[in-house]
Amino acid sequence: MTVVFFFFRKYRFLKRLSGMNAELGIPRDYARLRQLPVQMEARDLVSVGLDIYQREQRLLRGADVAWLAMQEAASADGIELQLVSAYRSVDYQQGIVQRKLEKGQDIETILRVSAAPGYSEHHSGRAIDLTTPGFNVLEEEFEDSEAFRWLRENAGNYGFHMSFPRDNPHGVAYEPWHWAWNNQA
């Protein structure tokens, strides 16, 4: 029964994504060309506190423990890791793309820096965007921070990896601030 429910849920989700992405003008072959898997929306989310904008953020159960342990370890080493964002719904992702379209950006430019709805790791509840004091939010300059150096050396110990390094096969811009938890770690 549970397997049937999962497939029905995934079928409805994919159908919803298809219509949503068609309305946004996202090419039908986007996922295949970018080699990006569909990211189902997480259901078992846990609060991990406030982000730098004072919004409550949530992560998948398990990712929450890993994030908080990693943040605490960084702090013990004198590094302040600040949360910019975590879980993001498909509807929220649609709004991001829609606002960029309304500002006159073309879809190809948008898709180099923002995933199409249904393909963002943030939907899974496993992804976090980070910053540290003294650095602009969601900018490549984060790679020049002590926080980034600490993450490169230590994030794997907590199951996190940088999803979009330079020249990644997905055609997504380099994102040194974006880290995803692998629950297999």
What is the helix, strand, coil percentage profile of the chain, to 5?
Answer: 45, 15, 40
Judged against a pLDDT cut of 90, whether residue 5 lies above it is answered with no
pLDDT of residue 6: 62
pLDDT of residue 4: 61
pLDDT of residue 89: 96
Question: Mean pLDDT, to the nearest integer, of 29-48?
Answer: 93
Question: Mean pLDDT, to the nearest integer, of 89-115?
Answer: 95
pLDDT of residue 167: 92
Judged against a pLDDT cut of 80, whether residue 7 lies above it is answered with no
- What is the amino acid identity at position 143? E
pTM, 2 dp: 0.90
Q: What is the mean pLDDT of the chain?
A: 94
Contact 71, 155 (CB under 8 A): no
Percent of the chain beyond pLDDT 70?
96
Judged against a pLDDT cut of 90, whether residue 59 lies above it is answered with yes
pLDDT of residue 75: 98
Residues in contact with 170: Cβ distance below 8 Å, sequence separation at least 6, in sequence order? 34, 35, 36, 164
pLDDT of residue 8: 74
CATH 3.30.1380.10 fits domain 2-181 = yes
Give the residue extent of every domain in the chain: 2-181
